[in-house]
Amino acid sequence: MKDTATNQLRLIRFEPNGPAGLKPMDLTPYEFHTRPEQQNLHVYFEDEELGMSVGVWDTTPMQEPFGPYPGDEFIHVLEGHFDMMDTVDGSGENVACSKGQSVIFRNGVPVSWKQHDYLKKFYITYTDPRAATPEGLSAKGGIQALDPEFTLTDDDILPDSSVKQREKVLFTNDHGNFEVGCWDSVAFTSEVAPFPYHEFCQVLEGEVTLTDADGARHVFKPGECFFIPAGTPVGWHVLAYLKKYYAALDPSIHPGG
């Protein structure tokens, strides 16, 4: 069962239980090495033709079978912890991920997700149905658990910005259309205008006020997450400072050109 939202071009504030609670998912045994008792989901926004989904998901303890990870994904862990293992029995190297961390997954890396206890996450995942899953990948480097206190330096200054802004790209997918990075800025204000791509944002430091097409103002502070669908009219106002993790998908770039 999939709990979907209408895909209106509107600014989306993530809530840990969605706008009205999470809905149980239909589970099939072959999808798991160890089956969970329950998984629940709320999809805030999706584009099936593009292969993108954005939402909140939770699960009881489980383990997925070893195999290619199904898509490029960025998540923020709200509760619990898990291990991404490069062998199903855990005999290889594991990447441990815990509450408060954000994590990047590369499409097609051979891993097994082992869930020790309850877990809840915000996510944006991308698996373009027009492209084949990469083959022959190594698990090494395919999962990145990010530091919540990641630091940018002046080596990361953007040369074409009218104010001091810095950016470090931490991941670019194989198609070149999905990017994860860290970005910060001193005070600035922009006019309300259509946003050029889909973007998931996690505020790390500072505060931002986003103004939508109706003139409504939405304030986001550290620890909060939001999503801007491509084409959504939005204006940015940073009063003093903002640092964020972002995961951006450019819908104008298609696999194979």
Q: Could you report the per-residue pLDDT of 61-75, keeping only the tens digit for each?
A: 999 999 999 999 999
**Domain 12-146 in CATH: superfamily?**
Jelly Rolls (2.60.120.10)
β-pairing, 119-126 vs 143-146, is unpaired
Tens of pLDDT along 35-54?
Answer: 999 999 999 999 999 999 99
CATH topology (fold) of 154-249: Jelly Rolls (2.60.120)
Pairwise pLDDT comparison (3 vs 6), residue with the higher score = 6
CA dihedral 68, 70, 71, 76 (to 10 degrees): -110
Q: Which amino acid is at 195?
A: F
What pLDDT score does 256 carry?
65
- Give yes or no for a contact between 167 and 174, defined as CB atoms under 8 angstroms apart: no
Q: Which amino acid is at 149?
A: E
What pLDDT score does 6 carry?
54
**Residue 17's CB: how many other CB atoms inside 10 A?**
12
What pLDDT score does 257 carry?
58
Q: Provide the 3-class DSSP secondary structure of residue 66.
A: coil
Number of separate helices (H) and strands (E) present in the chain: 0, 21
Same fold, 12-146 and 154-249: yes
Residues 210-213: contacts with CB under 8 Å, at least 24 apart: 210/11, 210/234, 210/235, 210/236, 210/237, 211/235, 211/237, 212/10, 212/11
**Residue 19's CB: how many other CB atoms inside 10 A?**
10
What pLDDT score does 202 carry?
98
**Which pair of structure tokens corresponds to residue 188?**
């600035």
Domain coordinates in residue numbering, the chain: 12-146, 154-249
What pLDDT score does 1 carry?
33
**Residue 215's CB: how many other CB atoms inside 10 A?**
8
What is the per-residue burial (b if ≥16 Cβ within 10 Å, else e) of 135-155? eebebeebbbebeeeeebeee
Residues 109-132 have a mean pLDDT of 94
- Give yes or no for a contact between 68 and 97, defined as CB atoms under 8 angstroms apart: no
What pLDDT score does 255 carry?
81
Instruction: Give the integer Cα–Cα distance in Å for 206 and 106.
Output: 29
CA distances from 151 to 78, 102, 126, 184, 201 (A): 22, 15, 27, 10, 17
Supply the mean pLDDT for the chain.
93
Tens of pLDDT along 126-171?
Answer: 999 988 888 888 888 999 999 989 999 999 999 989 999 999 999 9
Tens of pLDDT along 214-238?
Answer: 999 999 999 999 999 999 999 999 9
